[in-house]
A and B are shown apart, each in its own frame.
Chain A
Amino acid sequence: MTTLFGNSPALSAEHFENLEKQREAARFGMWLFLASETLLFAGLFALYAALRVRNPAAVQSGIGANDIRIGTLNTLILISSSFTVALSHLFLEADRRARSLACLATTIVLASLFLVLKATEYAAHIRHGILPGQTQFFTLYYMTTALHSLHVIAGMLVLTFLGIGIMRRTVRKGRAYPLELGTLYWHLVDVIWIFLWPLYYLGSHG
């Protein structure tokens, strides 16, 4: 029987000796993927560092135009979503499916809230004539935050897919590793924002 996350729920895929080896291969693949995702943002972080060294006044001026309240609220939202997604995995491992699903749903709601606030902030910038290409700071700001938002959207899709798996019981206690991998991805999205917040929001608001 083919299920959402492989063959028979109890068996490993054909090319693995057993389920444990399949899990380990998947975990290794996910950690490598997280490393590549980290490197995807490396160039943008390096560009920011270069801009900050070359023209610190432009960076301070750009930060002053960003809404620190929205940035801080979004930080609290993503931190909370990391907590709820970690709980979701914990509950599934304890065979508490309903609680796991509730935590996963909360994570998706928090992610949606993050995107709504980000869109609100973009709209306010556009109203004030702050557009990509206008200054180096805001070109970098739009590129980095938009790329991060795309990762949030991808994470929401992955978590929704996993929620369907939990409802269909293809992801469950004893076979919860797809959720474990999904939560790892979500935590990375959170970690990237943890660094974006001080770079683009903190400073010159005092």
Chain B
Amino acid sequence: MKAYAGTWIALVLLTLLSWSASRLVTTLEFSISLGIAVTKAALVAFIFMHMGRAKATHQAGLIVAVVLILILIGLSSIDMWMLL
């Protein structure tokens, strides 16, 4: 119960931090916002979804999906960048 409440407070604070960063910083705000989003997603996955306690076979499916997304995003971005 305490872990859940602590996680919820951390998620709210990180959301407010991300919002503040988007207003204050100009050059790095997108990278900071994405970094905060990854941290928030990890908090939800490991505390609320208990991903750390899930079996390796269960985790593997999701990890493979995330890796495939990163490859797809990376290749699309490189392709577009080369067209510039």
Which A residues contact B (CB, under 8 angstroms)?
24, 27-28, 31-32, 34-36, 38-39, 41-43, 45-47, 49-54, 68, 72, 75-76, 79-80, 82-83, 86-87, 90, 183-184, 187-188, 190-191, 194-195, 197-198, 202-203, 205-206
Q: Does A202 contact B59, Cβ atoms closer than 8 Å?
A: no
Q: Does B24 contact A206, Cβ atoms closer than 8 Å?
A: yes
How many Å lie between the Cα of A91 and that of B15 in the bound state? 27
How many Å lie between the Cα of A76 and that of B19 in the bound state? 11
- Known contacts: A31-B59, A39-B68. The answer to whether A202 contacts B33 by CB under 8 A is yes
Report the contact-size class of chain B (Cβ under 8 Å from the partner): 35 or more
Number of A-B contacts (CB under 8 A): 135
How many Å lie between the Cα of A86 and that of B69 in the bound state? 27
How many Å lie between the Cα of A125 and that of B10 in the bound state? 32
How many Å lie between the Cα of A82 and that of B48 in the bound state? 8
Q: Does A46 contact B37, Cβ atoms closer than 8 Å?
A: no
Q: Does B69 contact A54, Cβ atoms closer than 8 Å?
A: no
Q: Does A203 contact B29, Cβ atoms closer than 8 Å?
A: yes
